[in-house]
Structure 1
Amino acid sequence: MADPIGAPDLQTVGEFATALRQLREANGNPTLEALSRKAGVSKTVLSEAFVGKKLPSERTVVAIAHAFGADGKDLAARRRLLDLDAAPPRSPKGRGFGKLTLAVVAVAGLIVGAGIGAGATWGFDYAAAAQKAHVSKTVVTDAAKIVVKNGTDPANTACVNDAKVVASQTETHDTQLQIIYSAACHAAWSRINRYDGKATGNEISTSIYRKIAPNAKDRQSTTEPDAQSAYTTLLVRPSADTEICANGSLTLGGQTIDLETPICF
């Protein structure tokens, strides 16, 4: 069945939730219990998705669409496009994401992986637009408004309130690498997302570091098993002239694959 949602220009988590409710209503408005059994998603997660309390993960979005007989590509592509300026995902551990029941939550928007060929339905390639690399220059002009320390989980700080993606690059094996920066905190963290559908049994890793001192003690790194997405702890930017870079890698069948090019800002 085709995706019945008519308007692709979703701008907020609330509007995305409205689109999900429209999909649910167009298919008989089943109870959360019935939908939970069919989609394999908990009632709590479904409720949060439909009311707009939290941005649902890619897995949840696709599971909902499949439960209604839709392929989910349009919803997934719109989710990705809206997440380009997102703050880091939150997770129980602060840095990693769960295994098969992964819930990727972005504070300010929505992201979906490379390789989903959506957008043609609306005459616009949402997937390509979301994958397009972008780098914005953020200049530190005054003292940090929020004092944080290296190694702090950004999800446990107020840094997420003004966080923006300042560098983003689609890499090999349907992988996306990003640097997220908080001007209020003068701090950054890196995030890696894999969309090859091969997270189970493999790992993803990312690091963020000062360009002039890539192996210094303030380098922040994370490795997550069976995860589609992961992010590092905070790296405080010591000055406006400090260039920060991030790199990443993933494993595939026991082989470690380094991403082609670090990104910097």
Structure 2
Amino acid sequence: MARAERPLDPTADPLQAFAAELRRLRDAGGRPTYEALARRAHRSASSLSEAAGGRKLPTLDTTLAYVRALGGDEAQWTERWRMAAGATTGGAAGPPADDPPAVTAAVPPGDDGPPEAGAGAGVRERPSRRTTGALALAAVMVAGFATLPWLTGGFRPGAGPAATAPPASPAGPPQPVPGTVEVRDGADPKDAGCAADAEVTTLDSAAVLLDERVIGTVELRYAPSCGASWPRFVPVPAAVEVPRPARIQLTVVDGDDAGRQADFAMDYAGISTFGNLLTSTRTCVWGQVRLSGQGWASPVARTGCWRGATQVRPIP
């Protein structure tokens, strides 16, 4: 049996107010386990659980991964995170004037910018004017959160959060910084920095069918700066209902060497998601998706085979 989360008091401080809203978002999404959420978010279960623990402010990167996995609005949650960061450090809640926008169309769904430095909570002793101000801001945040919509759909095609520079915090669990992970077969395209390439494009797409009805599309994404490709699944709104529980398998395959491929699987949640990458400048690769559950499986949906940005042959 999973251990119960510690109680939170949203009126106590901004950290607990922020964590309480993360938990409320998870409840609205059907309260998936943190293990299931981790597979959707490409983050560890412990980091997601800690984000909603109320003891310290999670990084912006972790916060947005949590939010995306539950279909929350990234722009709203970026602003909430900045308010919480400002409250816990006593600084301004908003970003500097030259701060980049929270969302950029150059990054695919689920591929956000570099991890941010989170803001830690100060030691609480006797009340002060600064503490009183933080508590007041927490109350304002709770009231404001209650008026905002929670769910606005899954990952938005062609969008993702860009890098920001929030306040630094005490050391926490190390997280991959986009661009510092080697561009290699099987790497996460976000952590390798490939998803941030402004020239990322969808080379090809194909319908994903269930009972001969279209439930989504599989796309082959390509980053010229990395010379790498990865698959992405995009569901069709109001498509045929997929039996739950179900799994989704995303694979990118070398068309010249079928033994070379990169796989990623997760619990199906009816939202867009992306797989791992395969270097693809010298060989022909294709993307494919398959959904399955107890006693059933969809046909494998495949894109055409591409070498770089040049199509080599279609895949039947």
- TM-score w.r.t. the length of structure 2 is 0.40
**TM-score, with normalisation over the residues of structure 1?**
0.46
Give the number of the structure whose alpha-carbon radius of gyration is greater.
2
